[in-house]
Amino acid sequence: MKAIQITQVGGPEVLKYTDVPDPSPGPGQALIAMKASGVNYMDVYARSGLNAPSLPAIPGGEGAGEVIQVGEGVSEVEVGDMVAYTGAGASYAEKVVVPSWRLVKLPEGMDAEAAAAVMLQGMTAHYLCHSTYPLKPGDTCLVHAAAGGVGLLLTQMAKSLGARVIGTVSTADKAKLASEAGADHVINYVEEDFEEEVNKITGGEGVQVVYDAVGLTTFDKSLASLAPRGYMALYGQASGPVPDISPAILGRKSLFLTRPSLGVYTSTREELLQRAGDVLGWVKSGKLNLRIHGKFSLSDAAEAHRQLEGRLTTGKLLLIP
């Protein structure tokens, strides 16, 4: 089968389109013929060496397709089921072996590409605003990268929970998208100091929570934007990892700092099905608007990575085998 493989870490050019042996499912596993694979920053971290896998490796951890074979002891899915997943590797390929408990059946009539586009980012947005810091009416949240894949979904969910949303973006076009998703205030951080703007918007009170996937370049000002006893949810590091810090920096306002991850928030099948069921159901019903920025053939994975790292995207990128 065809797949993207890396034999060394580095830039997008290390993503090689090549032939690899077909995988086969073992006990508790299913073989999926992929219809679409999601492209995410965790794939960039792996490719660049920030979270380096054992090499050689097939990148990717999200996708959707059809079950074409199951291993011994599989009860969650059957051959012919259309399924989606995240949290299992090697998705940049025509066929993928996935632990069957990680597979979620698609709602009747749901498009596989839409499902592949929303599993990781949709469930990330879900746990952030429903569990990490459960938003409630009257809360104000700061959403960085508000026109990105998670940001657009998180903004919509936050508004549905009754919160006020302040979003940060880098261009006027992205500001328009964030506003259309429901953001009450949008700050272009290239032209404005977002800490100063948050202070103005909140009358000096600060926000209850910051949802930050940017990391290095936003961390200090994000902390400064929090209200007393506010929550800093640092769920990514697109601009680089945050240096080691002293807990004392949290003391002045009794702040909370957490570094959450989707794996922990979907560590049981029950929780996985609950989050995925909400997200897929909302997309199918139209309650949650999904933006797919671009679709690339599997062989063009390097270009997809270039666009993602260059912050040229608004919404989701997919690879189509």
pLDDT band at 218 (very low <50, low <70, confident <90, very high): very high
236 with 309, same domain: the answer is no
pLDDT at 280: 97
pLDDT at 120: 96
Q: How high does pLDDT run on average in the chain?
A: 96
Question: How far is the CA of 126 from the CAs of 102, 171, 217, 270, in angstroms?
Answer: 17, 26, 25, 15
For residue 248, how many C-alpha atoms fall within 13 Å in the half-sphere facing its CB?
1
DSSP type of residue 53: P
Give Cα 301 distance to the centre of its chain.
18
179 with 73, same domain: the answer is no
pLDDT band at 98 (very low <50, low <70, confident <90, very high): very high
Give Cα 229 distance to the centre of its chain.
26
pLDDT tens by residue, 292-306:
999 999 999 999 999
Q: Is residue 98 in a domain? A: yes
Q: Is residue 129 in a domain? A: no
Q: If you write DSSP's letter for every residue of 104-122 in order, what string do you get?
A: EEPPTT--HHHHHHHHHHH
Domain with residue 103: its CATH number is 3.90.180.10
Task: Count how many domains the chain has.
Answer: 2
Q: Are 41 and 213 in contact (CB under 8 A)?
A: yes
Crossing angle between the packed helical segments 112-127 and 149-160, to the nearest 10 degrees: 60
151 with 112, same domain: the answer is no
Burial class (CB within 10 angstroms; exposed 0-12, middle 13-18, buried 19+) of 224: middle
Q: Is residue 125 in a domain? A: no
Domain with residue 155: its CATH number is 3.40.50.720
Prediction pTM value:
0.93
For residue 203, how many C-alpha atoms fall within 13 Å in the half-sphere facing its CB?
1
